[in-house]
Structure 1
Amino acid sequence: MHTSTEAWPLTDEQRAIVELCREFAEKEIRPRGREFDERDVESPVDLFQAAAKVGITDFMLPVEYGGGGFTDVFTQCLVQEQLCWGDPGIGNFLCSNGFFADPVLALGTAEQKEHWLRPLCGPHPRYTALATTEPGSGSDAASISTSATRTGGGYLIRGQKAWISNAGLADQYVVFAKTDPARRSSGVSAFLLHKDTAGMTFGEPMRKMGQRAIVCREIFFDDVFVPESGRLGPEGQGFHGLMKTFDVSRIVLAAAATGAARAAYEYALRYARERSQFGKPVIEHQAVAFRLADMATRIESAWLLTLHAARQLDAGADAGKLAAMAKLQASETAMAVTWGAVQTLGGWGYSREYPVEQWMRDAKLEEIEEGTSDIMRLVISRRL
């Protein structure tokens, strides 16, 4: 664990879940990272089930639905950082039900929460997906074109989503669609769907640069009927719920990026201490030592900003700007540090024999998902 974590004293329960996840990451996740990178379009469902049995996949869900009760973003960051130290793709996959749960908790009725969240808890949880991105709409979520038109007793959804994590594997979906196409953000509503809903089909797995343990597909909606009870929150409130979700997810993804950066830094540091070049250990070469110093400094600053953002959000503050700052800093740190690890290992870093080249590919996604770095800068600049 980072020494800076102790700036905020942990409870015994927090220490226990962090230690559980550290051990799981070391013994179960890290040894399987390369395997699922090579498999390309297959998710580690066996690891998900193993994690479920020890309480990792539902630790972030409320106790009243059977979850672990760590609903605070601070603890979620502690866990995500550990799991993504093991492997970024697998770590994010194991906690994916938390991303589904956020809009349900923010917008759902008591009945919806019971129906859609309880199946995510316990040793045999369902898989979930959050469907926002479209072929023509990524970071600009207000511009989605998937429509939800009122019909007798509910809505007909028409359109297409792309790059949806867990699509096809997931049993439960939160889908964002326009109930009022003439309006931007205020025309977006959210809907809850099961995988077997008529008219909902899936594309082939999308081949990606990194984080291949999370399989993405397109989703097609051909007059998919959703009853009134399947709408999540009032009409036009979907975008508000999504932005609340982004405040959480951006901070948690910042923790994930920091974990990936820490893994690469530790690997490069160990290599530099053990490997010799020109008659002395690599770490004694000033250029390498300075690079490692920069890597360590960036990681520590990203981690402190991430935890600060989490604490502010947990305290009820408007943390949108801090969430964007944390994600920007941590994701660009992950990219810089994994690049530095490859550079430190030289030719071996470029080889698939070592994991740092995979981690560099994995890190790139953190600069893109839940809003690109450019979008994060835009969010921050508008709140200065």
Structure 2
Amino acid sequence: MSDASDTVDPRLRRPGRGAVSNAVGRYERQARSYEDDGWDTTPDEVALRTSVSTERPRSIITYNRSPDLPFDRSINPYRGCEHGCIYCFARPSHAWLGLSAGLDFETRLVARPDAPRVLAAELRKPGYRVAPIAIGTNTDPYQPIEKSHGIMRACLQVLSEFNHPVAIVTKGSLVERDIDILSDMAARGLARVGISVTTLDAALSRAMEPRAPAPARRLKVVGRLADAGIPVRAMVSPVIPGLTCHEIEPILKSVAGAGAGAANWIMLRLPLEVSPLFREWLAQTCPDRAARVMGHVRDMHGGKDYASDWGRRMRGSGPYAEMVAQRFRVAAKRLGLDARQPPLRSDLFEPPVRAGDQMELF
């Protein structure tokens, strides 16, 4: 395990950040470390700020063939995520940009302002075949920078105009801003939202998902969406063994009381760079529980921190994983959260007519 001080300027203040290090991405040929050369005599601490660059994508819809996922396509308005969740399985995607999965992932963000225009163009292609689009499966579309950039709202407007189904996953309370669009789409059977609730412990939440809304705030989001007629699924994700696993039943009871109509769960996943980042965080934040947490993790993945086998990577395997699954099933059934949500409608899809388009005769 690397020493966090090797990769980060010790003068940096990191309030509201999850990672404690910033090692280079796995595709880089050279390592990076911080060394004081003695020339900078300024003793003052420097705040670690968020920077946002822009990217103009040629395509925006990403397709997947994973049997573990209930969707085959998704879009991402942003790369990186300021929420800073230390357990985020999307962190390794920053290596594709030549950036670190650590602090870079939460502080060096990429916005895609052309996403709505590119999305509309892709939906108009003659060969496009409609199916629900997932948003929020990699980075959160309602992270703080959405407030100023508005890319997610613009994408929703496109999907609404095309009568295209969408399923959203978020921790962000900013989703409430778009209730007007989402409630209208939900009335047509085109939208549902999943709200991730990892813990009810506000202090633990602030430590491991530092810039995401507090648990109580997320429960209010569930209620507001449900009151607006938008189907809401609670995502107990990830379940962290030895740290949040005891909260499964209380979380389900809370989200049911708030108005969620369904729930699911995913076990902690530590692919690639996420594993050392998470272990560094555990050692610094929960040293008394670190060995227990990682012991359970390795028991569920054949002695490794993570195994990517399809069919097991989301839940793990073995006695501990089976116990968690059984507890979830029993609690969800008791609370009425085990029912399948109705499928989103794809039969309404129709590109809107543009000025100058040939009208249909019949």
Shorter-chain TM range is under 0.3
More helix as a share of residues: 1
* TM-score, with length taken from structure 1: 0.21
